[in-house]
Amino acid sequence: MNVSSRNSLTLPNIITIIRILLTPLFIILLIQGRYGQALLVFLLAGLSDLVDGLIARTWQQKTPLGTFLDPLADKLLLSSSFVALSVFRLMPAWLTVVVISRDMTLVLGIILLKLTDMPVIIKPSRAGKWTAALQVMTVLLVLVGTLWPLNANFLTAWFWLVGGVTALSGIQYVYRELKRVGRTPAD
């Protein structure tokens, strides 16, 4: 076992914690209507996500804490973004409901698996990765749209695309886990 796997205070984890701390700053900037600055903070948070992952892989600094913190930081930033942007009517509320419902369904599924002593295997699917990418792009588009108006028809179509892919990826995860649990031998 290398030293970094025993030490949770690695550079990637510190960067992830900074990303978590950027989330309240991002929301405050949105509340204040400082969309340009909010966009910069969101971009900085996205860049930190790339950097911490690259460092963790390159320098073998993956830790159990990091495997928990990194997706938590991502979900915190994205969920907060969707809620705030829909509260300010910059994004449709129904899309936020779809995004949050999917995430809550996945979290509840993990909790149920843990409570029933079933093995929890967290492996992102291709649809899940596409969903995350589309959701990040959605926040970016909405923020850019506050600075330079975008075509309303394009945004509407984009929102429907993101909502559909998000719902499909949630259904895929539930189906995949139900299938896996059904194959697991009972005690």
Q: Kindly tell me if the per-residue pLDDT of 164 is higher than 70.
A: yes
72-81, 118-127, 178-187: least confident range: 178-187
Residue 72: which domain range? Answer: 3-183
How many domains does the structure of the chain reveal? 1
94: three-class secondary structure by DSSP:
helix
Q: How far is CA 88 from CA 31, 146, 153, 187, in A?
A: 8, 11, 19, 51
Which of 95, 168, 82 has the alpha carbon at shortest distance from 126?
168
- Give this prediction's pTM: 0.87
Q: Which CATH number do you get for residue 29?
A: 1.20.120.1760
pLDDT at residue 11, rounded to an integer: 93
pLDDT at residue 5, rounded to an integer: 47
